[in-house]
Amino acid sequence: MQKRMFKSEKGSITLFILLAILFFLIVIFSVYMIGSNKNRIQMSELDKMKQEYQESVDNINQIYQETLTENLSNMLKIGDYVNYTYDTVSSGYSLPSAESGYDTNQTIAQTTGLKWRILNIYKDGTVDLVSENPTNQEVYFKGALGYNNGVLLLNDICAKQYSNKSLGITARSINIEDIESQMNEEGIAARNAYTSSANIQYGKTKTYGNGANQYPTLYAKENKSGINSTTTKTDGISSSDNGYTYAITETSNTAVNGLTVTQTYYFLNNVPDTYFDNSTIYQLIFSTNTNYWLASRFVDSYSNSATFGLRTIYNFDIGGYYNFDSDGHNGENNSRKLRPVLSLDITQIQPCTGTADGTDTTIAHMHQIRQ
Side-chain half-sphere of 243: how many Cα atoms within 13 Å?
A: 26
Burial, 25: exposed, middle or buried (Cβ in 10 Å; 0-12, 13-18, 19+)? Answer: exposed
| Residue 332: predicted pLDDT | 86
| Pairwise CA distance, residues 170 & 247, whole Å | 19
Mean pLDDT (the chain) is: 89
DSSP state string for 62-90: HHHHHHHHHHHHHH--TT-EEE--PPP-S
Segment 252-268, tens digit of pLDDT = 999 999 999 999 999 99
Phi first, then psi: what are they for 42, rounded to 5°? Answer: -65, -45
Phi first, then psi: what are they for 121, rounded to 5°? Answer: -125, 115
| Residue 209: predicted pLDDT | 96
In the chain, what percentage of residues exceed pLDDT 90?
A: 76
Closest CA to 282 of 273, 292, 270, 291: 273
273 CB-near residues (< 8 Å, 6+ apart): 279, 282
| Pairwise CA distance, residues 220 & 222, whole Å | 6
Domain boundaries, the chain: 1-75, 81-369
| Burial profile 344-354: b = 16 or more Cβ within 10 angstroms, e = fewer | bebebbbebee
347 CB-near residues (< 8 Å, 6+ apart): 68, 69, 72, 125, 370
DSSP state string for 130-179: EESS--SS-EEE-HHHHHHHHHHHHHHHHHHHH-BTTTTB-EEE--HHHH
DSSP state string for 302-361: -SS-EEEEEEEEETTEEEEEEEEETTS-B---EEEB--EEEEEEGGGEE--SS----SSS
Segment 280-319, tens digit of pLDDT = 999 999 988 899 999 999 999 999 999 999 999 999 999 9
| Residue 6: predicted pLDDT | 40
| Pairwise CA distance, residues 201 & 194, whole Å | 6
| Residue 5: predicted pLDDT | 42
| Residue 74: predicted pLDDT | 80
| Pairwise CA distance, residues 81 & 119, whole Å | 10
More confident residue, 92 or 124: 92
Tell me the mean pLDDT in the region 204-223: 98
Segment 132-183, tens digit of pLDDT = 999 999 999 999 999 999 999 999 999 999 999 999 999 999 999 999 999 9
Checking if the pLDDT of 86 tops 50, the result is: yes
| Pairwise CA distance, residues 364 & 353, whole Å | 5
1 CB-near residues (< 8 Å, 6+ apart): none
Q: Please state the pTM of the whole predicted model.
A: 0.82
Checking if the pLDDT of 2 tops 80, the result is: no
Whats the size of the chain, residue-wise? 371
Cα-based distances in Å from 119 to 4, 122, 178, 366 = 109, 10, 8, 15
Segment 10-61, tens digit of pLDDT = 555 666 676 666 666 665 655 555 555 555 555 566 566 666 656 655 566 5
| Residue 23: predicted pLDDT | 66
pLDDT-derived band of residue 371, with 50, 70 and 90 as boundaries?
confident
Please answer whether residues 294 and 311 qualify as being in contact, where contact means their C-beta atoms are separated by less than 8 angstroms: yes
